[in-house]
Amino acid sequence: MKRLQRLYFILSYVFFILPPFIWGLVALYAENPRLEIHVISLFVNLIVLAVIGFVIVLLIKYDKLHVPNTNEYKQLAFGLVGNVVVYFYTFQNMMEIQNIITIYLILLIVLAVRVLLITRKIVVYELWILLPIFLAVDTLHLLISGCGFTNIGTVCYPNQGGYGWLYFLYVLIAVTTIGYYGYKIYLYKRYTFFGIVNMAIVVAISIAIQRNFDADEKLIGTLFIGGGFFLVLDFIVSIVNKTYTHKILLFYIRTSTFLLLWSLLSEEQFFYYGRADEGLLALMVVVTYVSLGVNILKSLLHVKEEADEPSALDQFTFRPCTFEDKELIKTKYGEVAYNHISLDEEDCSLVALEGERIIGFVSTYVRPLTSPLEAELEAYMNIIEVAPGFRKLGIASELVARTEQYFRRKGIKQLRGWSSDDKIEAINLWRKLNFALSPTTIFIRQKNVAIEGYYFVKKL
């Protein structure tokens, strides 16, 4: 039963991906070229859904699967709506509705249904901002010129006065896509050496490839090679220094897309005597797919991409603890704190700084569980401390979040620690961060004393 308890949620997303795979199989085995593939695929799709439903009924009847609850019914309904819209999107060309069933409309429908059935609140703000704009521009372009994105390369004849409106739409596309992605990159505030070098190279290439500038091809090639080199080097250095977060990956996806958008503008000669044509519609498609992919990655990797509003944490720096930091901790926080800091390769010790001053730190080491699970490893948080005057600013939460990310990448399955019951702030922190708490008495033999407290543990 445990293996099947998430089946309804899995099926809801299986429904989404059925149409394109069914299309591939039908096209592979349909020997008569006159057959309408989309019609056959529709019947096959319905048969597959019916078979899935029949199997579910049998599993429920023989007590192998539970009856779906309200949330699972809503999730299945969401999946079925997704199945319908993806079907129309998959066969849009065969049904000659490609100028109506656009990716912008499809995603807006999916997002709206998800809000109504599941989340009850608007999430993925980026898509909610971009998609209505792109849908409106695409619709207006179709009305004015008679051509949509799928008609790129054909000759379109705007109605009287349409050329001016078309150029206005092209400018709107360029400003929206380039401006928005530039703003998203700015929000990262990645002012490290490699971050600054990468952004400088992207800007330099974006300018050099435009027709208005007589840039040497070797210079452009050198910039491209240099950008790739520093990008890879940034990943290597951050992984070695234990400062890598998935935010770095998203940052480079954004900057690479930003460069791709400028390349499309160059290809269309947008800045060359004000020329523009239907090829600029490709910018909206590129941004739509990349933004969708980035938001899926954010969800899968459990990472917040950037802070849309200034955070109190922006004034602090977080990095791995060094031997010099450990000595400073000994001087300021004492011998006990010093002895609890581990700098072993597999462990994770971090410091939070205000300027050069250490105002917080955490140290967590890897250890095996007890028999019979001695083959399993856990991360044990040995100490976490934030200086008075800097508490309740989110520093401890950030230290814990970075610790979780580090051990999650290492494949460690749980993070655990212990806190005495007199540390009310710490106990409230673990509850806030969704740790499970277990009352436990610790007996210290050297002092012959028992201390009441809580083990806190979280599955990573």
Task: Give pLDDT, residue 187.
Answer: 85
Lowest mean pLDDT among 7-11, 279-283, 323-327: 279-283
Same domain assignment for residues 296 and 261: yes
Instruction: Name every residue whose Cβ is closer than 8 Å to that of residue 453 and which is 6 or more positions away in sequence.
Output: 418, 419, 420, 421, 439, 440, 441, 442
Same domain assignment for residues 230 and 122: yes
Task: Confirm whether 388 is domain-assigned.
Answer: yes
Lowest mean pLDDT among 173-177, 227-231, 280-284: 280-284
70, 97, 124 — which closes off a domain? 97
Whether the per-residue pLDDT at 342 is higher than 70: the answer is: yes
Same domain assignment for residues 298 and 324: no
Task: Confirm whether 452 is domain-assigned.
Answer: yes
Task: Confirm whether 443 is domain-assigned.
Answer: yes
Q: Domain total for the chain?
A: 3
Indicate the pLDDT class of residue 2, thresholds 50, 70 and 90.
very low
Cα dihedral value 117, 122, 127, 128, nearest 10: 110
Lowest mean pLDDT among 89-93, 220-224, 291-295, 312-316: 312-316
Q: Cα–Cα distance between 153 and 5 in angstroms, integer?
A: 50
Same domain assignment for residues 299 and 196: yes
Q: State the helix-helix crossing angle for 246-267 and 193-208, rounded to 10 degrees.
A: 10
Indicate the pLDDT class of residue 153, thresholds 50, 70 and 90.
low
Same domain assignment for residues 341 and 279: no
Task: Confirm whether 169 is domain-assigned.
Answer: yes
Over range 307-334, report the average pLDDT.
82
Question: Cα separations (Å) of 199 from 129, 185, 377?
Answer: 25, 9, 40
Task: Confirm whether 87 is domain-assigned.
Answer: yes
Same domain assignment for residues 245 and 300: yes
Whether the per-residue pLDDT at 123 is higher than 80: the answer is: no
CATH number, domain containing residue 318: 3.40.630.30
Same domain assignment for residues 198 and 277: yes
Same domain assignment for residues 168 and 284: yes
294, 309, 324 — which closes off a domain? 309
Task: Give pLDDT, residue 1.
Answer: 44
Same domain assignment for residues 252 and 318: no
Question: Amino acid letter at 134?
Answer: F
Same domain assignment for residues 278 and 318: no
Whether the per-residue pLDDT at 154 is higher than 60: the answer is: no
Lowest mean pLDDT among 119-123, 248-252, 269-273, 453-457: 269-273
Task: Give pLDDT, residue 44.
Answer: 94
Same domain assignment for residues 137 and 259: yes
Q: What domain range includes position 46? A: 1-97
Same domain assignment for residues 85 and 159: no
Query: Strand, coil or helix: what is 176?
Result: helix
Task: Give pLDDT, residue 34.
Answer: 62
Which of 127-141, 203-217, 432-446 shows the highest mean pLDDT?
A: 127-141
Is it true that the peptide bond before 372 is cis, omega within 30 degrees of 0? yes
Task: Confirm whether 223 is domain-assigned.
Answer: yes
Task: Give pLDDT, residue 402.
Answer: 92
257, 292, 309 — which closes off a domain? 309
Task: Confirm whether 111 is domain-assigned.
Answer: no
Whether the per-residue pLDDT at 443 is higher than 90: the answer is: no
Task: Give pLDDT, residue 308.
Answer: 43
Whether the per-residue pLDDT at 42 is higher than 90: the answer is: yes
Q: Return the higher-pLDDT residue of 384 and 148.
A: 384
Task: Confirm whether 324 is domain-assigned.
Answer: yes
